[in-house]
């Protein structure tokens, strides 16, 4: 499988897309086409690693990592991801428990997978890869945990001073020498702009061998599509209905992974994006104008994003707002 930038550059191999994180032209990598599956292609796949091996196999075709995929998935899914029925009378509603990983964020799945891939591709202690991460709270901890003490890998985390919780601050700063955490006087968007700026500086980027572990890296999104695949297949086998998903949304990585699974033929019904007071996506669906803006600080700091990166992927894969709003719901919720 070959990968192209949303802005046209490419093709590159999966291995290079994972290494680079962001494309040279500033766009985001996507596979040249999405594989399509029938539901019965997953007959007999009863665990997430088994579903993931079938779903992700085509993305790893011709990658140097292909023979390792099974072991990479075992490493990634070292914790369970159950869907637990909620006691709501007359409604079949479940909570997809994405919080059983080491830092209690769903990002442990994507970060663990990316670390498992990159540590197989890289790992030269004399010429380390430097993962640059902007975080609004949860990403930095998950990435730091996944790369902590991995030889030949350095992590530099940028987080907005005073805008993460005490526990998040601890999770950002408690690691070994290969993880450096920097407080930035500003918002998440400022951190993200610094990371993008550093990576766009080709001289600096080559010298330090920068890569990204934000959800701009396709290596975060591929494994995230597998828990939608697994949980939708379970629900579909049990009830005959395609489950809908309500997805808390910030940088739009987790929701994009769900849309990707649906596009690949998984039995997924309505997808509803739930944002906090950061209304960039909601306003786009309403006015058809894409107007990124500074983020507002809310109680849900991990969702305080005013310029969601993965909208570029969503527009490339599905279409502009007039098409998107036919295919996705959106709800913006205030702190109250
Ligand atoms: C990261 C995060 C989100 C936002 O996810 P995106 O993929 O950035 O849209 C929402 N809730 C929690 C708890 C998170 O950690």
* pTM of the model as a whole: 0.95
Ligand 1 centroid–CA 182 distance in Å is: 21
For 333, residues 6+ apart whose C-beta sits below 8 A from its C-beta are 274, 275, 276, 277
What is the average per-residue pLDDT within 239-264? Answer: 97
Helices (H) and strands (E) in the chain, counts: 13, 11
For residue 254 and ligand 1, the question of a CB distance below 6 A is answered with: yes
**Are 58 and 110 within 8 A, CB to CB?**
no
Ligand 1 mean position, distance from CA 139 (Å): 8
Q: Is 218 in the pocket of ligand 1 (CB under 6 A)?
A: no
Verify cis geometry, omega within 30 degrees of 0, for the bond prior to 11. Answer: yes
Residues with Cβ within 8 Å of 295's Cβ and at least 6 positions away in sequence, in order, are: 136, 187, 188, 189, 278, 304, 305, 306, 307
| Ligand 1 binding pocket mutation candidate from 99, 106, 220, 298 (most atoms within 8 A of CB) | 106
CA dist 153 and 118 (Å) reads 9
- Among 95, 251, 258, 260, the mutation site with the greatest number of ligand 1 atoms within 8 A of its Cβ is 251
Give me the mean pLDDT over the 293-297 stretch. 91
User: Best mutation site among 189, 220, 303, 332 for ligand 1, i.e. most ligand atoms within 8 A of its Cβ?
Assistant: 303
Helix (H) or strand (E) run with residue 182 in it: strand 179-184
What are the tokens at 174?
């408690």
Angle at 332 between CA 326 and CA 336, to 5 degrees: 160
Task: Decide: 104 and 171 in contact? Cβ < 8 Å.
Answer: no
Token pair listed for 23: 């494309």
Query: For the residues 31-56, what does the mean pLDDT come to?
Result: 97
- Residue 101 tokens read as 């990983």
Is 158 within 8 Å of 182 (Cβ atoms)? yes
Q: What is the pLDDT of residue 215?
A: 86
Report whether residue 252 contacts ligand 1, using a CB cutoff of 6 Å.
yes
Question: In the predicted model, what is the mean pLDDT of residues 13-18?
Answer: 97
**For residue 226, which phi and psi values (nearest 5 degrees)?**
-75, -30
pLDDT, tens digit, 9 for 90 and up, residues 212-250: 898 889 999 999 999 999 999 999 999 999 999 999 999
CB 143 within 8 A of CB 131: yes
Which token pair is 64?
């140097």
CA of 136 to the centre of ligand 1 (A): 9
Q: With 90 as the cut, is the pLDDT of residue 24 above it?
A: no
Contact 130, 158 (CB under 8 A): no
Q: Measured from the CB, is residue 248 less than 6 Å from ligand 1?
A: yes
Please give the angle made by the CA atoms of 180, 181 and 184, to the nearest 5 degrees: 140
Quickly state the pLDDT bin for 176 (edges 50, 70, 90): very high
Q: How far is it, in rounded angstroms, from Cα 271 to Cα 281?
A: 14
Asked whether the beta carbons of 250 and 305 are under 8 A apart, the reply is yes
Q: Supply the pLDDT for residue 331.
A: 97
């Amino acid at each position: 499988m070959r990968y192209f930038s949303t802005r046209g550059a490419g093709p590159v191999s999966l291995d290079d897309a994972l290494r680079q994180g962001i494309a040279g032209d500033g766009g985001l990598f996507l596979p040249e086409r999405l594989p399509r599956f029938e539901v019965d292609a997953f007959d007999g796949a009863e665990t997430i690693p088994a579903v993931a091996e079938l779903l992700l196999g085509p993305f790893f075709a011709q990658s140097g990592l292909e023979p390792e995929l099974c072991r990479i998935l075992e490493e990634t899914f070292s914790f369970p991801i159950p869907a637990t029925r909620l006691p709501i009378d007359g409604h079949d509603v479940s909570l997809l428990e994405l919080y059983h990983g080491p830092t209690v964020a769903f990002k442990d799945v994507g970060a663990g997978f990316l670390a498992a891939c990159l540590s197989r591709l890289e790992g030269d202690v004399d010429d380390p890869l430097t993962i640059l991460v902007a975080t609004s709270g949860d990403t930095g901890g998950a990435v730091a945990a996944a790369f902590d003490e991995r030889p030949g890998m350095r992590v530099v985390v940028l987080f907005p001073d005073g805008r993460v919780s005490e526990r998040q601050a601890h999770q950002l700063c408690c690691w070994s020498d290969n993880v450096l955490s920097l407080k930035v006087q500003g918002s998440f968007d400022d951190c993200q702009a610094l990371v993008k700026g550093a990576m766009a500086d080709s001289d600096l980027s080559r010298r330090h061998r920068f890569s990204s572990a934000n959800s701009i890296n396709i290596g975060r999104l591929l494994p995230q599509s597998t828990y939608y695949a697994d949980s939708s297949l379970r629900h579909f086998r049990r009830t005959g209905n395609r489950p809908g998903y309500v997805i808390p949304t910030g940088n739009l990585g987790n929701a994009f992974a769900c849309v990707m699974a649906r596009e690949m033929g998984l039995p997924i019904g309505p997808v509803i994006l739930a944002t906090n007071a950061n209304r960039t996506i909601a306003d786009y669906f309403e006015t058809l104008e894409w107007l990124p803006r500074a983020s507002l600080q809310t109680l849900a700091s991990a969702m305080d994003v005013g310029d969601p990166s993965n909208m570029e992927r969503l527009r490339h894969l599905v279409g502009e707002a007039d098409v998107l709003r036919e295919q996705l719901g959106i709800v913006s919720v205030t702190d109250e």
